[in-house]
Amino acid sequence: MAAVLKVENLHKSFKVGFIPKKREILKGISFSVEAGEIFGYLGPNGAGKTTTLKCTLGLIFPDQGQIEIFGHSHLSLEAKERIGYLPESPYFYEYLTGGEFLDFYARLFLLGKKEKEERIRSLLRLVGLERAARLQLRKFSRGMLQRIGLAQALINDPELVFLDEPLGGLDPLGRKELRDIIIRLKREGKTIFLCSHILQDIEMICDRVAILVGGRVISQGALEALVSEKILYTEVTLSGLSESDLEGLGEPVSSHGDRIMLKVFQEDNIERLVALVQDKKARIHSLVPRTETLEDIFVEMVRQG
Amino acid sequence: MKIKAIALNTFKEAIRDRILYLLFFFAAVSVIFSRVLAVLTVGDRVKIVKDVGLASISLFGVLMAVMIGTGLVYKEIDKKTIYTLISKPIRRFEFLLGKFFGLVLTLLIMTSLMSLIFLLTVFFHTFKIEAGLLLAVLFIFIELILITAVAILFSCFSTPILSSLFSLSFFLIGHFSWSLETLIQKTKSAPLKLFIQALYALLPDLENFNFKTEVVYGLTVLPKYYLFSALYGLAYTAFILTLAVLIFKRRDFV
C-alpha cells in the first residue's frame, strides 16, 4: 500500500515566557500512514500530538523535517484539496446556521451549486443534524458541534481525514455513533488519522498506532503486533467464602456484602479456587480472563518514556 | 472566488455584530442632531448641518472600521476558527483579502445608509437634494478603506485593544501630518529637513481625503486633485495590505 502521509524527522520548538525560553515540543517525529487504514496517534497530554497535526495542516511551520501528503508538499493546494480536518473541541462561526456553515466551506472548494446542495444534505443526514440546518451554531450543544465539525471535515469528500480527539466530550451514545461513522468512512476507502486519549475506542477501530511521548514516537506498528494475547490475570467474583479462605490464592480487589472480587494471577490458583468453592458449597458469579490492552501498553510505555 | 466566499462570510459576521448597529444608531442621532445645533447657531445654518453631518459619517465610519476590523483576524485566531480554514485549499493572502473586502463591503453599506440619512436631513433643511455632497462622502469612504487595511494589519499580530489604539493613532497622526509640510518649509538645517521629509513621506496624510470644506462651501477643485487623492488612497492601502500579508504569511497559529 502507498503512504498517503509521510512525516520525516519533524522538529518544532516554541519560545515561551516573558524572557523567551526555547521549549522543544517535537524532537524528530517520523511515521507514515498507509492508504485505507485507520491510524491512531496516541500520547499523554503535552506529548505533541496536536502540534504534529498543526504542522501537518500548515497551521504552524516546523523548524526542521519534511511532510508529504499524497506525494505533495503539505502546504500545497493539491494536498489540501484531498484532506479533511476536525480540530479538537471545535470552535466555529457561531453566528452562522448549520446550513450556512457547510455552505461556506463548500464554497472554498469551489463546488457547483447542485453538487454543493446535495453534499450538504447528505452530510447533515450522515451526522444526524438535518433538523439543525437552520439553527445558529451558538445554540448547538457540544455533541452537535462535534458532528457539524465532522460534516465540514468531509465537505470535499476527502481521501484523508484528520480527527483530533473526535470522541472527546461526547456521551456514550454519541461516541458509538461517531465510531460507526469512522468505520463507515474507512469502508468507503478513506484513510483516517485519529488522535485520541480514549484508548478503548482506538483499540476498537484502529489498524495501526503510533505512541508519542515527550515529543518522540516511541512505538508504532499494527495493533495486533503491539497487544499480545497473553492472559495477565483472571478476575473472579464469588460469594460464600470469607477473605481468610482466599489467602494465598489471589489479590482481593473489592467486597460488597457477601461478594468478593479478586485478581488471580496463576492458572493453578484458579483450579485450587474452583475446588475450594465446590468444597465449601460457595458460588462463583463470574470468571473473566484479562488479556493485555492497549491501555496497559500505553501506561507502561509512558512510564518508561 | 475563494476570496469572495470569505468576504461574504466576514460580511455576515459584521452585520450580525451588535456594535455595528450601536455605532450606526449614534451616527444617525449625530447627523439628525446637527439640525438642533444649526438652530442654536448664528450664521449659515445649512453649512452647520452639512459640516456636522459629514464629520459624523467620517467619525463613526472610522469607529466601525477600527472596532470591527481590529477584531476580525484576531478573533479567528483566538477562537481557533482559523484552524479549519487554513487546512482548506486557500492561501493565507486569500484569507486576509477576504476579511478586508468583507469589511469594506460592510462599510460601503453602512456609509450609504448614513449618507441617505444625511441627505434627507439636508433635504428637510433646504428642500433640495444635494448630490454633490456625496463627493465628500466618496473620499471619506476611500479613507475608511485605508483605515480598514490598517486595522487588519494590526489585528494580524496584536490584541483588539492595542490594535484599536494603534489604528486610532494612525488616524490622528494622518490628520495632523500635513503640518510637517509647514515644518519642512520653516526648517533651515538640511539634515533635519531631510529627516522630516522622510517622515512626511512615510506617515499617512489623511487630509488628502478631506474635501468637506470644498464641497460644503461649493469651492472649485481641479479634477487632478481628486484623482491624486484617490490614487494615493489606493496605493497606501495596497502598501498596508502587502505588509499585513507578509506578517500573516509567517505566523504560527498556536
Chain B residues touching A110 at Cβ < 8 A: 1-2
With CB atoms and an 8 Å threshold, state whether A61 touches B253.
no
What is the pLDDT tens value at each position of chain B, 254 positions in all?
Answer: 889 999 999 998 888 888 888 888 988 888 888 888 877 877 777 888 888 889 999 999 999 999 988 988 888 888 888 899 999 999 999 999 999 999 999 999 999 999 998 888 888 888 888 777 888 899 999 999 999 999 999 998 888 899 999 999 999 999 898 888 888 888 888 888 899 888 888 888 888 888 888 877 778 778 888 899 999 999 999 999 999 999 999 888 88
What CATH number does domain A231-304 carry, 1.10.12, 3.40.525, 3.30.70, 3.90.550? 3.30.70
pLDDT of residue B134: 87
pLDDT of residue A229 exceeding 70: no
Lowest mean pLDDT of A195-204, A205-214, B48-57, B144-153, name the range.
A195-204
What is the rounded distance in angstroms from the CA atom of residue A277 to the CA atom of residue A76?
68
Three-class DSSP category at A99: helix
Long-range contacts of B223-232 (CB under 8 A, 24+ apart): B226/B135, B226/B139, B229/B139, B229/B142, B230/B139, B230/B142, B232/B205, B232/B208
pLDDT of residue B238: 96
Size of interface A-B (CB pairs under 8 A): 75
Tell me which residue in B1, B9, B253 faces A59 most closely, judged by beta carbons: B253
Listed in sequence order, the residues at least 6 apart from A296 whose beta carbon sits closer than 8 Å to its beta carbon are A232
A93 reaches B (C-beta below 8 A): yes
A113 reaches B (C-beta below 8 A): no
pLDDT of residue A228 exceeding 80: no
**Mean pLDDT of all residues belonging to chain A:** 87
pLDDT of residue B80: 85
CA distances from A74 to A6, A13, A19, A49, B57 (A): 10, 19, 33, 17, 46
The residue in chain A having the minimum alpha-carbon distance to the alpha carbon of residue B72 is A93
User: How near does any CA of chain B get to the CA of A207, in Å?
Assistant: 25
Range list for CATH 3.30.70 in chain A: 231-304
Which ipTM score applies to this complex?
0.79
For chain A, percent of residues with pLDDT exceeding 70: 98
- DSSP assignment of A1-69, as one string? --EEEEEEEEEEEEEETTTTEEEEEEEEEEEEEETT-EEEEE--TTSSHHHHHHHHTTSS--SEEEEEE
User: How near does any CA of chain B get to the CA of A151, in Å?
Assistant: 12
For A68-90, how does the pLDDT look when each residue is reduced to its tens digit (9 = 90+)?
999 999 999 999 999 999 988 77
The residue in chain A having the minimum alpha-carbon distance to the alpha carbon of residue B94 is A108
Residue A158 pLDDT class (50, 70, 90 cuts): very high
User: How near does any CA of chain B get to the CA of A85, in Å?
Assistant: 7
In this structure, what C-alpha cell is assigned to residue A247? 489467602
What is the rounded distance in angstroms from the CA atom of residue A231 to the CA atom of residue A208?
22
Kind of pairing, strands A21-34 and A3-16? antiparallel
H-run or E-run covering B223: helix B223-249
CA distances from A132 to A92, A147, A173, B85, B132 (A): 15, 11, 19, 22, 49
With CB atoms and an 8 Å threshold, state whether B12 touches A108.
no
What's the whole-number mean pLDDT along residues A282-297?
Answer: 84
pLDDT of residue A301 exceeding 80: no
pLDDT of residue A58: 92
A143 reaches B (C-beta below 8 A): no
pLDDT of residue A1: 59
Which candidate in A82, A94, A108, A159 is best for mutational testing of the B interface (most B CBs within 10 A)?
A108
Range list for CATH 3.40.50.300 in chain A: 3-14+25-226
What is the rounded distance in angstroms from the CA atom of residue B70 to the CA atom of residue B171?
14
User: How near does any CA of chain B get to the CA of A86, in Å?
Assistant: 7
A3-14+25-226 maps to which CATH number? 3.40.50.300
Which candidate in A22, A59, A88, A111 is best for mutational testing of the B interface (most B CBs within 10 A)?
A59
pLDDT of residue B187: 85
Residue A297 pLDDT class (50, 70, 90 cuts): confident
What is the rounded distance in angstroms from the CA atom of residue B56 to the CA atom of residue B23?
11
What's the whole-number mean pLDDT along residues A163-188?
Answer: 87
Which tops the pLDDT comparison, A161 or A290? A161
